[in-house]
Chain A
Amino acid sequence: MAPGTISLTLKVWRQAGPDQPGRFETYRAERIPTDISFLEMLDIVNDGLEREGKDPIAFDHDCREGICGSCGAVVNGRPHGPRKATTLCQLHMREFKDGETLVIEPFRAKAFPVVKDLVVDRSAFDRIIQAGGYVSVRTGQAPEANSIPVPKHRADRAMDAAQCIGCGACVAACPNASASLFTAAKIVQLAMLPQGHPERTRRVVAMVQAMDREGFGSCSKQYECEAVCPKEIKVENITLMNREYLRALVRED
């Protein structure tokens, strides 16, 4: 083995389409430099498959710097792999040992049908946001930016929640396939800011309903979502979302 390289066995979920049966296929990833990323390792495996005229493993990816939220797969049972606070594209092969076997599968949830191999359809997230994950301001209406001061600690908390990249790892990690962490992150971001207040009540009700409608499960506080979130979004956001929801039930503003 060349220095700074490892060889691995991959068991990868292959599925031609949403209605096709899937199965695990085994591949060898030989002499993988440890300073490349997980997706670059998949590139190498795919390169070999392409050269053999075989269909490469499909996976979503784009920015490859951990911010677009496109990539993600479950590696050895853990969404985005073993390293905390890291997307799959930012996971580097130095996290693995020579000779290891990696089981790689898509983010699984009823609301995330498989498109192909590791690619899933996460458009349910868009529909949750469509239900109310915004401030209804039209271009041109805004007042002067500094006319409404926002205490720094509230702006910081809004930013903590706003960092969500919409990757869906929280759903994949949850035994109930709940989208609570994703939904709560947007609700809390806007609840922390005065700009979000006029629609606060309507927003939480509409978004929670949309989440249920899409077939995501309920939150039973397992904390699995927080553990795998690449942006370290905290479960306390779900608590706050529930409080917002209760508040909405007793108020009509």
Chain B
Amino acid sequence: MLDARVPKGPLPEKWTRCQFDMKLVNPSNRRKYTVIVVGTGLAGSSASATLAELGYNVKTFCLNDTPRRAHSIAAQGGINAAKNYQNDGDSVYRLFYDTIKGGDYRSREANVYRLAEISVKIIDHCVAQGVPFAREYGGLLDNRSFGGAQVSRTFYARGQTGQQLLLGAYGALMKEVNAGRAKVFPRREMMDLIVANGRAVGIVVRNMVTGALEAHLADAVVLASGGYGNVFFLSTNGRSCNVSAAWRCYQRGAFFANPCLTQIHPTCIPVHGELQSKLTLMSESLRNDGRIWVSRQPGDTRHPNDIPEAERYYYLEERYPSFGNLVPRDVASRNAKQVCDAGLGVRGGNAVYLDFRDAITREGEAVIRERYGNLFDMYERITGVDPYKEPMTIFPAIHYTMGGLWVDYHLMSTIPGLFVLGEANFSDHGANRLGASALMQGLADGYFIIPYTMGHYLATTGPAKTREDAPEVREALESAEVRIRKLMSIRGKRTVNEMHRRLGLLLWDKCGMARNERGLREALEEIPAIREEFWNNVNIPGETGTFNQVLERAMRVADFMEFAELMVRDALERRESCGGHFREEYQTEDGEAKRDDENFAHVAAWEYAGPDAAPRRHVEPLVFEEVKPSQRSYK
């Protein structure tokens, strides 16, 4: 049933062949087509700009006050590309291989190969846009090794790579707004997808300033609305990141793939208290020079600088001699949890040290400041501790979601005309994403894939011709209005945050860094109870027809309450460990994730079956023609 539309032919030729086989839209006809883009992160902005450059009429929506603020902006470390500028053995094939392996063999080969292939063009394009990447004294681009890679293929702009790439894409979008081909609708939140005649033809949005509901029609819809990490309440995501847009599409028929595959980032500032609103990530580029350790003595209360060398347990270096502190994210996170569970964490708690003492001695403080100055400053601002003088403390936190709406090779969902890009789709990172690959994927999808596949879709299906008074439009508007009215009428006693935190803690506990059958079953029992309390006892002050930030949050949390159940169900059904999904029942003797390729080398894609029915689980088998799945080893 699920046809991924992977082109025939040898892996390196698939994308070229596909590009040739795709139908084109005549340049003078493109302006007759309207494309809606939801989201203005790297994927959404790059898609909007590029589709507009081609001549399509683009309408772009974002929930921030300007498209420049989407959470791609917070990516620190860098962007991978197989340029092999360092002559250290990199190639398109190696980036492809590393990504497949890093994803623990749960991604689609053809998509990943295409991603690696496109990576080189992204750097060319961003440099041409004026993105100020780091350079060497000879004037050429600098690279660093990043998060588990043995080659230096990461391009970066200090610790602000996401910001610079996003501002590049934002600039390109502003250029198209100026040219009249793109129009941006800020402070709009997507409330529903309009499906008519079996295809996606528009969206309903809420104007967040006036509260008005608006229907916008188009010939196709591109969803680039990011990931769902905030389902855990505390995460490194921006506060407005949500699953609502994707969830509405799911309820309209788009399959949701692998929702249980979430990534826990190893280097975040530890949780400090109940009142915390979000977690802050410290770029994992810090692991290039920082050494991770804990005291060998459980519950050690000494100041870290007073713990002698012999009593320091550099657990990653000892356990994984060839990768050391640079093991992939899932491995680093799990090991941090293990040492802390064993009581070895900082002062017995949930934190480990990330220490720059040796790097500062070796290279000098000035060099370290040049490399990581802004990250060190940020750490000091948040914690009040100077990392030049004593080690940072870090702990894993939810950071990225590999799962997302199911898409085929064309990045189209199971609803014709609904394309899904960036973190919102599921395709390229399998069960674990490598560092510096999210930016690469977002931009590959937006700049270099959607312009082709969108053209093919429009050329083969023609215009949508849905009228504003169509029953599907009215129905979508009404269902949004009914939901809002229902929320506003509860007027209970609980705050939205309180309910969200309760859900998040439950998920972190039962469906976080480690999962097991019993816990997941308990979560499945508890989630409906929390949801019921939410719908009966939450309080949203203010009115609908105004700027109402509590209502905005309530709508997102309401969707998280439903989505959480699907995530847990997916985690329960995936009876194996892979990447970020660690099922305690399935581990090797030395505690590593144990995959079950015989039964689970597939994508699980969930189909909505109505509010009171269990969703249906479909399977897309993953066929590995090029790479032979093996037990990942970073020893």
Contacts of A70 in B (CB 8 A): 64-65, 69
Can you name the residue of chain A whose Cβ is closest to the Cβ of B136?
A152
**Chain A: number of interface residues, binned into ranges:** 35 or more
Is A69 positioned at the interface, with any CB of B under 8 Å from its CB? yes
- Cβ–Cβ contact B272 & A62, under 8 A: no
Of residues B46, B66, B140, B493, which shows the largest number of chain A Cβ atoms within 10 Å of its Cβ? Answer: B66
If A70-B64, A92-B382, A162-B132 touch, whether A43 touches B139 (CB-CB below 8 Å) is no
If A145-B123, A166-B68 touch, whether A51 touches B130 (CB-CB below 8 Å) is no
* Separation of A146 and B85 alpha carbons in the complex (Å): 9
CB distance from B438 to the nearest CB of A (A): 15
* Separation of A176 and B132 alpha carbons in the complex (Å): 31
Task: Pick the contact of A138: B53, B69, B167 (CB < 8 A).
Answer: B53
Task: Pick the contact of A47: B65, B383, B497, B547 (CB < 8 A).
Answer: B497
- Cβ–Cβ contact B178 & A123, under 8 A: no
Contacts of B157 in A (CB 8 A): 159, 162
Question: Chain A interface (Cβ within 8 Å of chain B)?
Answer: 16-17, 33, 35-37, 39-40, 43-44, 47, 49-51, 53-56, 58, 60-70, 83, 85-86, 90-92, 94, 115-116, 119, 121-123, 125-126, 129-146, 148-152, 155-156, 158-159, 162-163, 165-166, 189-190, 192-193, 195-196
Is B49 positioned at the interface, with any CB of A under 8 Å from its CB? yes
CB distance from A192 to the nearest CB of B (A): 8
Q: Looking at the complex, which of B275-283, B466-474, B515-523, B603-611 is the stretch in contact with chain A?
A: B275-283
Contacts of B212 in A (CB 8 A): none
Task: Pick the contact of A130: B129, B178, B495 (CB < 8 A).
Answer: B178
CB distance from A204 to the nearest CB of B (A): 14
- Cβ–Cβ contact B128 & A35, under 8 A: no
Contacts of A141 in B (CB 8 A): 128
* Separation of A144 and B129 alpha carbons in the complex (Å): 13
Task: Pick the contact of A145: B127, B164, B167, B546 (CB < 8 A).
Answer: B127
If A50-B495, A55-B542, A152-B135 touch, whether A139 touches B239 (CB-CB below 8 Å) is no
Task: Pick the contact of A150: B139, B172, B281, B493 (CB < 8 A).
Answer: B139
* Separation of A125 and B170 alpha carbons in the complex (Å): 12
CB distance from B121 to the nearest CB of A (A): 8
- Cβ–Cβ contact B539 & A50, under 8 A: yes
Is B483 positioned at the interface, with any CB of A under 8 Å from its CB? no
* Separation of A36 and B319 alpha carbons in the complex (Å): 36
* Separation of A119 and B128 alpha carbons in the complex (Å): 35
Contacts of B65 in A (CB 8 A): 60, 70, 119, 121-123
Is B74 positioned at the interface, with any CB of A under 8 Å from its CB? yes
- Cβ–Cβ contact B128 & A40, under 8 A: no
- 4 A-B pairs besides A50-B550, A130-B177, A165-B163 with CB distance below 8 A are A64-B280, A69-B69, A121-B65, A139-B448
**Chain B: number of interface residues, binned into ranges:** 35 or more
Task: Pick the contact of B125: A90, A131, A139, A165 (CB < 8 A).
Answer: A139
- Cβ–Cβ contact B497 & A90, under 8 A: no
If A123-B65, A139-B451 touch, whether A65 touches B74 (CB-CB below 8 Å) is yes
- Cβ–Cβ contact A144 & B124, under 8 A: yes
* Separation of A159 and B141 alpha carbons in the complex (Å): 14
If A62-B239, A146-B140 touch, whether A155 touches B134 (CB-CB below 8 Å) is yes
- Cβ–Cβ contact B378 & A66, under 8 A: yes
| Majority DSSP secondary structure for residues of A touching B | loop
CB distance from A173 to the nearest CB of B (A): 19
What are the nearest 10 A-B pairs in CB distance? A149-B139, A134-B171, A142-B128, A159-B132, A158-B132, A142-B124, A62-B238, A145-B127, A68-B69, A130-B178
Contacts of A126 in B (CB 8 A): 66-68, 174, 177, 184
Can you name the residue of chain A whose Cβ is closest to the Cβ of B540?
A50
- Identify which of residues 132-158 in chain B touch chain A, using a CB-to-CB cut-off of 8 Å: 132-141, 157-158
Is B447 positioned at the interface, with any CB of A under 8 Å from its CB? yes
If A134-B171, A134-B175 touch, whether A145 touches B124 (CB-CB below 8 Å) is yes
Contacts of B127 in A (CB 8 A): 142, 145, 148, 195
CB distance from A126 to the nearest CB of B (A): 5
* Separation of A49 and B539 alpha carbons in the complex (Å): 11
- Cβ–Cβ contact A68 & B129, under 8 A: no
* Separation of A51 and B498 alpha carbons in the complex (Å): 11
Task: Pick the contact of B273: A33, A83, A135, A195 (CB < 8 A).
Answer: A33
If A64-B277, A70-B65 touch, whether A195 touches B128 (CB-CB below 8 Å) is yes
CB distance from A19 to the nearest CB of B (A): 13
